[in-house]
Chain A
Amino acid sequence: MKTVSLLMALSVALVVPAFAGEDLTQPQPPRDAKWSFDGVFGTYDRSALQRGFQVYKEVCAACHGLNLVAFHDLAAPGGPGFTAAQAKAIAAGYKIAAEPNEDGDIFDDKGNRLTRSGTLADHFPPPFANDAAARANNSGALPPDLSLIVKARQGGANYVYSILTGFNQKVPHGVTVPDGKYYNPYFPGRTIAMPPPLNQGSVSFNDGTPTTVTNEAKAVVTFLTWASAPELEARHRIGLQVLAFLVLLAGLLFLSYRKVWHGKPEE
């Protein structure tokens, strides 16, 4: 018993952090938002996914790639729920670097890269030709690809949401914001090279959802969570079936165990 209480005291000491005022060199913990995909029954909100796709396409895509996502994914089960025809039309709206033409050229006479319109099999095209071009266009900063952004950041969806809604706050004493940077308390170092991407009315939603920064951010974070984890709905569904089976099996095995060991005292 003594050892148990010792262990408990130790674990309490480990988890209770000691605060001494806000440390401005450290980012604030992300905001806690509610998401439709939280919990064991969580699924994506289809209309939020479609609105989020619109925000990505009209705002984020100017600087950020989405290279792991293919256009056919937009019509796949568990995704934004576009029809195959809609996804095809979306793909056709993108210019994709073309394969060599019959003359073996990939550049036209003026030296421009030949392009063709996208198909369902294509992936979202990158916004810049290469990382150096991306940096040159963004005052030295490299906008990360967003395919895995929600899984690649501590805090996941809440973190991305906090960044997107964390601009335009009063800069506290003791933080200097260099030229070309913006104050954002949720970003490591608290200054970020990305200008505030979302504003009131950055997009106009067809379904009448008010285009507040919060709504835009919620929609695009839902979309990016799906981009990071397109398997989530299948995972949640199969998980319930598997766990239900295992709990039943455990129950039956427990009864067998009791029956077999009946009358044999064990440790």
Chain B
Amino acid sequence: MAGHSNYVPKTGLARWLDQRLPVIRLMNDHFVTFPTPKNLNFWYTFGAILAVMLVVQVVTGIVLAMHYVPTADLAFGSVEQHIMREVNYGWLIRSLHASGASMLFLAVYIHMGRGLYYGSYKAPREILWILGVFIYLLLMATAFFGYTLQWGQMSYWAATVITSLFSAFDQIIPHFGTALSTWVRGDYAVGDATVNRFFALHYLLPFVIAGVVGLHIWALHVTGNGNPLGIEVKGPQDTIPFHPWYTVKDAFYLTLFLIVFLAIVFYAPNFFGNPDNYIPANPLVTPSEIRPEWYLLPFYAMLRAVPNTLLGVLVLFSALLTPLFIPWLDTSKVRSYRFRPVMKQLFWVFVATCILLGYVGAQTTDAAWHLGEVDIPLVWLARLATLYYFAFFWALMPWIGKKEVTRPVPESIAQSVLKKGAVLTKGGEQ
């Protein structure tokens, strides 16, 4: 997609460098002149926002690692005493890192939702989508390890619950599951060995993520961006250079995102947190409710919706891996849901389902809605929602794709944009 390079080195030094290591040419071709569809909307700015948030997490994380002590006895104090009270601006770095993780996930969910809605996973962008799903799974693992490191009550018990999930495999091979969970923890219970290895992994994985992000961008620049119309770029009339058009647009929306992010950091630093995590980890006291951070709640609700632990774990893993298969589950010839009236409705029901699952995941196991005389146990809502989650991808997507009567798709991006322009000049809406 980058195609022919139009970089011309202007100085002798630039020419010299270009013949030996053409990094300036690479940057120029990929981030300056890169031909980009001219109709990318607001929802496409989250890619750049995510890149920046990943850098924020890595930089703040490296500084925190300089002050953090990964042992069961000292971890909590190294955060609450040392980083929060003694390190210069430690409270700021810590808050940026902790709230930053949540904001990163918020952007990830919007970015993935956008990819789903505009059919960005369809050929020829299957690898691009799959790499994105890998990044998402790696982010979840990294975030889970990071949450453990604070070594508060919720950290400790979340780590205990998640690592004990492996012991469900005892139901298939006796003792194998328990052995696996002991191996993961490095001890019979979550403790010193666990926090130390989680710290090592929490430091390692972001660099793996950065590597996969590199592949993700590479794949993006081979096929070129998708766009809200879901039709391929037909020629130069459909594109504009990345710079300045999208650099300025991304920068503007990034700044809006940062305003929200930093308002939370400075004025509600515990907005995403759980008060129980300000109580030091205590293996002898189980909190009344153990719940993960918000971005994992939908999957937690699925896990709890299944009465059998092993089946619950299998449902959980299936739910996490399902997105990998989407490129082949969607049978429709049309990419963008904008032209798919049925799929569009099902998509919004899917979004509502995920929110509902997240809500149920945050409630107690025996919670219920009381509607007059009727009690609706939330676990049943979670079961229905879980069913819809799987049905959406594995049944509706292949089936609707074949049956659906799609709306007419425009000939080209340029044509569609021109039409919009005509409406604009007539003083029409938008």
Contacts and interface: CB of A to CB of B under 8 A. Distances in A.
Contact of B278 (A151, A256, A260, A264): A151
B335 to A, nearest CB: 15
B276 interface: yes
A264 B240 contact: yes
A239 B260 CA distance: 12
A238 B91 CA distance: 12
A243 B262 contact: yes
A257 B275 contact: no
A6 B352 contact: yes
Nearest to B153: A152
Interface in B256-297: 256, 258-259, 262-263, 265-267, 269-270, 275-276, 278-279, 288
Given A6-B348, A18-B370, A151-B275, A264 B266 contact: no
Nearest to A7: B352
A160 to B, nearest CB: 12
B304 interface: no
Interface in A192-244: 228, 230-231, 235-236, 238-239, 242-243
B249 interface: yes
B266 A235 contact: yes
Q: Which residue of A11, A154, A253 has the most chain B CB atoms within 10 A of its CB atom? A: A253
Given A151-B278, A236-B266, A265 B424 contact: yes
B225 interface: no
B22 interface: no
Interface stretch (B34-42, B56-64, B188-196, B213-221): B34-42
B278 A14 contact: no
A154 B275 contact: yes
A246 B255 contact: yes
Interface residues of B, number: 52
Given A6-B352, A7-B348, A152-B275, A267 B41 contact: yes
B345 A2 contact: yes
Given A253-B252, A267-B228, A246 B40 contact: no
B161 interface: no
Interface in B394-430: 417-418, 420-421, 424
B427 to A, nearest CB: 13
Interface in A131-146: 144
Contacts of B317: none
A242 B261 CA distance: 11
A250 B345 contact: no
Interface in A91-141: none
B276 A152 contact: yes
Interface of B is mostly: helix
Contact of A68 (B85, B252, B267): B85
Contact of A18 (B240, B275, B371): B371
A18 B263 contact: no
B258 A230 contact: no
A3 interface: yes
Given A151-B278, A231-B91, A265-B424, A238 B266 contact: yes
A49 B33 CA distance: 59
Contacts of B267: 40, 235-236, 239
Nearest to A241: B266
A113 B344 CA distance: 73
B249 A267 contact: no
Given A250-B255, A253-B255, A266-B41, A260 B248 contact: yes
B247 to A, nearest CB: 9
B348 A235 contact: no
Contacts of B265: 239
A249 interface: yes
B240 A243 contact: no
Interface in A1-41: 2-3, 6-7, 10-11, 13-14, 18, 20, 40
A246 B258 contact: yes
Contact of A148 (B255, B256, B278, B348): B278
B355 interface: yes
Contact of A264 (B245, B256, B279): B245
Contacts of B223: none
B92 interface: yes
Contact of B252 (A7, A228, A231, A250): A250
A153 interface: yes
B252 A254 contact: yes
Contacts of A13: 369
A159 B267 CA distance: 19
Given A235-B269, A249-B255, A3 B348 contact: yes
A85 interface: no
A246 B352 contact: no
B349 to A, nearest CB: 8
B304 to A, nearest CB: 18
Q: Which residue of B240, B248, B352, B355 has the most chain A CB atoms within 10 A of its CB atom? A: B248
B232 interface: no
B417 A266 contact: yes
A267 B246 CA distance: 13
A10 B356 contact: yes
Closest 10 CB pairs of A and B: A239-B266, A152-B278, A3-B348, A265-B421, A267-B41, A253-B252, A231-B91, A18-B370, A250-B255, A148-B278
14 contacts: A3-B348, A10-B352, A10-B355, A14-B355, A20-B370, A147-B80, A188-B288, A236-B267, A239-B262, A250-B259, A254-B252, A261-B249, A264-B245, A266-B417
Given A253-B255, A267-B420, 14 more contacts: A3-B344, A7-B351, A18-B370, A68-B80, A68-B81, A68-B85, A151-B275, A231-B91, A242-B266, A243-B263, A249-B255, A250-B259, A266-B39, A266-B40
Interface of B: 38-41, 77, 80-81, 84-85, 91-92, 228, 240, 244-245, 248-249, 251-252, 255-256, 258-259, 262-263, 265-267, 269-270, 275-276, 278-279, 288, 344-345, 348-349, 351-352, 355-356, 359, 369-371, 417-418, 420-421, 424
